[in-house]
Every structure is written in C-alpha cells, then in structure tokens.
Structure 1
Amino acid sequence: MWAWGTSVVTLVTLMVATVDAKIYERCELARKLEKAGLDGFKGYSIGDWLCVAHYESGFDTSFVDHNPDGSSEYGIFQLNSAWWCTNGVTPTQNLCHMNCNDLLNHHILDNILCAKRLVSMRQGMKAWDSWTRHCVGHDLSEWLKGCDVHMKTDSS
C-alpha cells in the first residue's frame, strides 16, 4: 500500500511539474543563459551550453530520462539523480541540495546553478557525453546565429 501511495504522489508531482514546463526556443534560451552569466564560465561559451541542452533535452525543461542503473536525469541539462538531486527513489549524493522535480519547470535558474556546480566539480563539460560527441571541435557560433547574443569565449 505504501509503494502505491508513493507512486501516486510521484505521478501527481510530475504532472504538476510538467504543467509549469517549457520547451525553450534556441535564442530565448541563449539570452537566459547569457543573463545568468554562463558565457565564459570556466572557459565555456553560450554555444557550449546550448549545444549540451539541445542534445540532452531538446531544450525541454520537463524531460526525464531513466537509466539502467535506476537513476534518472532531469531537466534541460539532464542532471542525474544519483549525484545532483534527490528524487526520493534512488540513493543520491544530492550535491546540488535540491529535489529533482524542481529541475522540471520553466524557472531554470536552479538548473543553471546545479550545472555550474557540475562543471566546477567534475571535468568541465566532459561530464556530458553529448558535449564530447556533438559540441567539441564544432563551430559553436552556429548556435547563436540570429540571436543577438555573442560568444565571449570558445572552448573548442
């Protein structure tokens, strides 16, 4: 009975979170990331962040991906429940001191702060396989075309 009640609470929480979710347009997200001070953070450009967000979530704040190890990845940057947030289901380090469901709404400042922590604590953006596969060595200025946002630095 307890497991069923927990499942219902989790389902209701996810439903409420998705009501407040958003799929960002590329330029809109670029402006948000620039305003949050990500351009040049640890040597990475807005292009790096857009590239990761695109390949991780398709700019969708409500995206959740479940892994074979039982952990899940949440939000626009796909932050893992084993390390960065708590989902109440899997063991976690909770290094960002937050609930994973808080990463699923259109208020992405918490996602940004947690992603900055990840980049600072891990080996930069190499923590995202998608960055290594799709972003490194590419012309990241393409991500900013027509956005009225200019990269300060380039990590490639």
Structure 2
Amino acid sequence: MEVRGTVVVVLAMLMVASVDAKIYERCELAQKLEKAGLNSFKGYTVGDWLCMAHYESGFDTSFIDHNPDGSSEYGIFQLNSAWWCDNGVTPTLNLCYMDCRDLLNRHLLDDILCAKQVVSSQKGMDAWDSWKRHCSGHDLSEWLKGCEMRVKIHPVKTNS
C-alpha cells in the first residue's frame, strides 16, 4: 500500500512539472533570449544560443538526459547536475545554487542566468559539445530568419 501511494505522489509531481513545461517555437525563444540580454553576451549571438538549445533539447524545457557518469542534464540548455544544479542524487558543485527541477519549466530566467554563468567560465560555449559540433564557426543567421527581432542601429562613425 505504501509503495502505491509513493507512486501516485511521484506521478502527480511529474504531471505538474509537465503541465508547466514548454517546447518553444524558434522565433518565440529568439525574442526571449534577446530580451534577456543574450545577444552579444560574451561575444555570442542569439543565433549561437538558438543553435545550441536546438541541438541540446529541441527547445524543450522539460528535457532530461542521463549521462554514463551518473549525472543528468536538465532543461532547455541541458545544464549538468554535477556542476550547475542539485538534483539530490549526483554529487554536485551546484555553481548556480539551484535545484535542477527548477530548470524544467517554461520560466527561462533561472535557466538563462545559469547559462550565463556557464558561458562566463573558461570554456565559454565550448562547454556544450553540441555547440562545438553544430554551431561553432557556422553562419547562424538562418536561426533568426523570419523572426521579428529588435534591430539595434549603431551610428556610423565619421572622421569629421
């Protein structure tokens, strides 16, 4: 009887988490990332972030991937439990001071703040293997095609 009750509680928790999860559309995510200040953060464009998030999670905030070393990666940016968040299972440095479950909902601010910490580390976006394989050194302008983005106009400097 006790096991059945535990299973019901776990299933209820998973249903609540999945209700608050979201698979973002490319342009919707691009706008959120730009609004959060990720365009040109540490020299990376919104295209870099979109490309990486696509290959990491398919823009799915509820995505979890389990690694052979026992750690897991969470959310739209696949932040690793050994380094960035605490899943209650994996020994962790918890460098973002957060519970990994907080990365599994549609609210991206905590994901973005933690991803900024990752990019601010020595590796930059090289911390994500998928970014190195699929995005680094490529023309990423296609990721923004058709998206209505705020255009930043910089005045042309003249020598007058």
Using structure 2 for the length normalisation, give the TM-score. 0.86
Cα deviation 1:29-66 (Å, max 9, x = unaligned): 00000000000000000000000000000000000000
Deviation track 1:6-44 (CA, whole Å, cap 9, x = no partner) reads 887665433321110000000000000000000000000
CA distance in 2, matches of 1:124, 1:4: 45
What's the Cα RMSD here? Answer: 2.3
The alignment status of 1:46 with 2:36, answered yes or no, reads: no
Give the 3-state SS of the residue equivalent to 1:42 in structure 2.
coil
Distance 1:91 1:16 in 2: 26
- Structure 2 residue aligned with 1:135: 135
Distance in 2 (CA, whole Å) between partners of 1:35 and 1:135 is 21
Residues in 2 aligned to 1:6 and 1:48: alpha-carbon distance in whole angstroms: 42
Q: Which runs of 5+ in 1 are unaligned?
A: none
CA separation of 1:18 and 1:122: change in aligned 2, threshold 3 A: farther
Query: Larger deviation: 125-134 or 115-124?
Result: 115-124
2:69 paired residue number: 69
Structure 1 vs Structure 2: percent identity of aligned residues? 77
Cα separation, 1, equivalents of 2:7 and 2:97:
22
Give, in whole Å, the separation in 1 of the partners of 2:75 and 2:89.
Answer: 17
SS of the counterpart of 1:39?
Answer: coil
- Distance in 2, Cα, partners of 1:124 & 1:109: 19
Question: Is the partner of 2:13 in helix, strand or coil?
Answer: helix
Report the equivalent of 2:32: 32
**In the comparison of the two structures, how many residue pairs are matched?**
151
SS of aligned partner of 2:42: helix
Q: 1:126 to 1:92 in 2, by over 3 A?
A: same
In 2, Cα distance between the equivalents of 1:151 and 1:76?
25
Q: Give the Å deviation of 1:137.
A: 1.5
Q: Which has the higher contact order (CA 8 A, sep 6+)?
A: 1
**What's the secondary structure of 1:41's corresponding residue?**
coil
Larger Rg: 2
Where does residue 147 of structure 2 map in the other structure? 147
Unaligned residue ranges in structure 2 (runs of 5+): 153-160
2:58 is the counterpart of 1:58 = yes
1:27 aligned counterpart, secondary structure: helix
Whether the 8 Å contact between 1:56 and 1:77 is mirrored in structure 2 is yes
Provide the secondary structure at the position in 1 that maps to 2:65.
strand
Distance 1:72 1:151 in 2: 37
